[in-house]
Every structure is written in structure tokens, then in C-alpha cells.
Amino acid sequence: MPLVTDDRAQFPDWRFAPNIGGHPDSYELENAALDRAGHVLTAMRAIAPWAGRTIVDLGCGTGYWLRRYAGEAAEVIGIEPDPALRAMAAQAAADLPGTEVVAGSAEHIPLPDTGADVVHARFAYFFPPGTDAGLAEVLRVLRPGGCLVVVDNDYRWGDFAWLLRASAVRPPEQTAASVDAWWRDRGAARHEVRSELRFARRADLAAVLGIEFPAGVAAAWLRRHPAATSVSYGYVLFSVRR
């Protein structure tokens, strides 16, 4: 079980994420689109099954994925530093068995040593280089044989990669190379997943592109794809075992 923490504690490593923190409703649409495609969750389960185990959703945001984990895991712990998002996650977890949401961050995980079997971080905290302290903290809380799975963007494939490239100050290929090298140096396995964001309505697609990319870049892509309700999306999963 998590250790008790003061909700007023400050997490100096935490950086506000404007896409989810500023637009939680639109980010829920993005989670639902990823969930609808299904490929990433399947890949994460294959890398580190959580059935009957303790799983930590590090940077759980509004708590969208907690229900997916609670259907199989023995215990689910959502950790979130943003108090507004944490309140939404706690509400989402209120009726889920064996699930709770606590205050914490990558460098301050409120768990005892060897307190978890699986840790997931979806687009949260691990943006190397410079995240060694967070990785060390995750390894502290993992049990022997436990696994961290981090979901990142594939900067080389798909429509989403094109949007990233059109929005980037630094060439995405350079970012991808440095990220790959950082994880490789720390013994991580790299897994590519080719998928999509599949939306129920075009308006939902437009809303999500609007929180992820500059307005001009999003509008240009939408003009070029007037009937689109999905966007091809490549993911890279990095896994580290203790």
C-alpha cells in the first residue's frame, strides 16, 4: 500500500503539461481514441502482464486508464502531481476495486521499496536526457523482476510524426536518436507499435490536434484530409526490468 503523503507537498521535478492540464476534456478524447485502436495496451500487456499484480500508473492524469488496469490487477495505484487532474483521477477511481490515487511525481513516488510489479508512464515524466533521478526512483519501487514500460512517440512514422515534424524547432530525427541512445545506454528494450488515433467524430479529431500542435499546423493537416476521423500514429515503448 502507498505511504501517506501530504497533498500540499511540492514536486520540484513536475512540469505543468498544457495539453492535458489545460484541456482535460480534449485529452480524454485522445485517450479514448488510443483506447479504441487498442494496439498500445495490448503491447504493454505483452511486455509486462499485470494480472494479479500491483501496477502503478505514473502520471495518471485524469485517471482514464485506471479502469483498464483494475479489471485485471490485484492493486492499481495512480500517481499524479497536478492537484486538479488528481482530483479527477480520484473520482474516476472511486468505484474501482483495489484502486487508489495519490500525490506524487517521478522523483517522489509514495511507495515503499519493492512495492510494485509494473510501472507505466504514458507520455509522462520520461523525456530524456536528464531523467535519471526518475528512473532510479522507479527502480527503487519495483520488485525484483518488475518492469517499467514507458510510452513515447515514434518520430519517424505516421501522420502524427509528420505533425510533430511540422511543429518542431529541433529536427524530430535528432530527438528520436538521442532518446533511443539514452534508453539503450540504460539497458532498455525498444518496441515499435504502429497504430492510430481513431475518433468517433471529426470534431473530436480537430479538438485533439488543436491541443497537441500549433493552430496553423493542425489546420493545414485537416485541410489536406477533409474526411479524416483518424490519424496514423507510431509509438515507441521502452521497457526496463529490475
Helix, strand, coil fractions of the chain, as percent rounded to 5: 40, 25, 35
Asked if 242 contacts 187 with a C-beta cutoff of 8 angstroms, the reply is: no
Q: What is the mean pLDDT of residues 67-89?
A: 96
Q: What is the mean pLDDT of residues 7-17?
A: 70
Domain 18-241 has CATH 3.30.530.20: no
Count of CA atoms in the C-beta half-sphere (13 A) of 79: 28
Q: What is the rounded distance in angstroms from the CA atom of residue 147 to the CA atom of residue 118?
A: 5
Q: Express each pLDDT in 127-139 by its tens digit.
A: 777 789 999 999 9
Domain map (residue ranges) of the chain: 18-241
- Mention every residue, 6+ apart, whose C-beta is less than 8 A from residue 92: 62, 63, 64, 66, 67
pTM of the model: 0.92
What 3-state DSSP class applies to 52?
Answer: coil
Instruction: State the pLDDT confidence band at 141, using cuts at 50, 70 and 90.
Output: very high
